[in-house]
């Protein structure tokens, strides 16, 4: 394969069940499964190595330099909205399908932000009035609470009590439990060493409340901020692999003849 042509083949994809997906990830980490196939019975991995016709797709997973996950907790079963693996070969992203399977696709680096915006549902986020951040109990932002409907409603009720009148539409959505907790987490290797980033927000039809930690002496104050979607997105980008990280991995791929 010459140049970076395989990185740019966005039509390369496979469909897998959740069990096949789990086996695939485990195989990339421990080589514990002899054979992993997709829903059509086509072999993906044998003895911990991608098959030739799946190599284009799986190289970012088996040679990953970073990973980003997007999870949603809305009182039901926790939902993985997206998993993205980053490498010198481009990126691989796994998205849930309408029929309950996972779609694996390879994509160029330039697709990263669009994948995250779409999977996290940030396309048309309403802007909220500018208000001061409000302090909240960290327990009301725990994923365990937002994974069960009853405790999610309890958390929403407690959060509503802290919101100012200007956020009336958000408060109404929370009272009706029309809200979900979204977590974006990233780990990656950079030229300066391992890096981590994370961002959490509450998503409602009326807008987003982002979670921030503020150091106050020896204590940490947890706050929710009704931030403009544009500023919120910029802060999220700052907690993800930087452009120079992606460029560094890309140069590695070109050096290797990938």
**Residue 235 maps to a domain:** no
**What is the tally of structural domains in the chain?**
1
**Residue 78 maps to a domain:** yes
pLDDT (tens place) for every residue of the chain, 258 residues total: 334 443 444 348 999 999 999 999 999 888 666 789 999 999 999 988 899 999 999 999 999 999 999 999 998 876 889 999 999 888 999 999 989 899 999 998 888 999 999 998 888 889 999 999 999 999 999 999 999 999 999 999 999 999 999 999 999 999 999 999 999 999 999 888 899 999 999 999 999 999 999 887 778 889 999 988 888 888 899 999 988 887 888 777 666 555
Q: In terms of residue numbers, what domain contains 61?
A: 13-123+241-255
**Residue 183 maps to a domain:** no
Q: Which long-range contacts does 187-191 make (Cβ < 8 Å, 24+ apart)? A: 187/66, 187/67, 188/65, 188/66, 188/67, 188/86, 188/241, 188/245, 189/65, 189/66, 189/245, 190/241, 190/242, 190/245, 190/248, 191/244, 191/245, 191/248
**Residue 8 maps to a domain:** no
**Residue 245 maps to a domain:** yes
**Residue 115 maps to a domain:** yes
pLDDT at 253: 60
**Residue 251 maps to a domain:** yes
**Residue 112 maps to a domain:** yes
pLDDT at 123: 82
Tell me the whole-structure pTM to 2 decimals: 0.88
């Amino acid at each position: 394969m010459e140049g970076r042509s395989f990185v740019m083949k966005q039509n390369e994809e496979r469909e897998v069940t959740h069990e096949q997906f789990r086996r695939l990830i485990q195989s990339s980490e421990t080589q514990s499964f002899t054979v992993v196939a997709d829903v059509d019975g086509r072999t993906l991995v044998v003895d911990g190595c991608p098959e030739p016709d799946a190599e284009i797709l799986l190289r970012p997973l088996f040679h990953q330099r970073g990973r980003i996950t997007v999870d949603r907790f809305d009182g039901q079963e926790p939902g993985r909205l997206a998993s993205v693996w980053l490498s010198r070969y481009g990126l691989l992203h796994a998205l849930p399908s309408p029929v309950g399977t996972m779609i694996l696709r390879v994509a160029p680096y330039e697709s990263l932000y669009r994948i995250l915006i779409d999977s996290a549902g940030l396309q048309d986020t309403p802007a909220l009035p500018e208000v001061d951040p409000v302090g909240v109990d960290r327990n009301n932002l725990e994923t365990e609470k937002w994974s069960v409907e009853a405790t999610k409603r309890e958390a929403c009720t407690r959060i509503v009590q802290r919101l100012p009148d200007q956020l009336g539409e958000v408060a109404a959505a929370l009272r009706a439990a029309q809200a979900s907790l979204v977590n974006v987490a990233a780990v990656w290797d950079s030229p300066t060493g391992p890096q981590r980033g994370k961002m959490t927000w509450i998503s409602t039809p009326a807008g987003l409340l982002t979670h921030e930690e503020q150091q106050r002496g020896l204590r940490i104050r947890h706050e929710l901020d009704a931030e403009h979607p544009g500023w919120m997105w910029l802060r999220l980008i700052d907690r993800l692999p930087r452009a120079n990280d992606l460029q560094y991995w890309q140069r590695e791929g070109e050096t290797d003849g990938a």
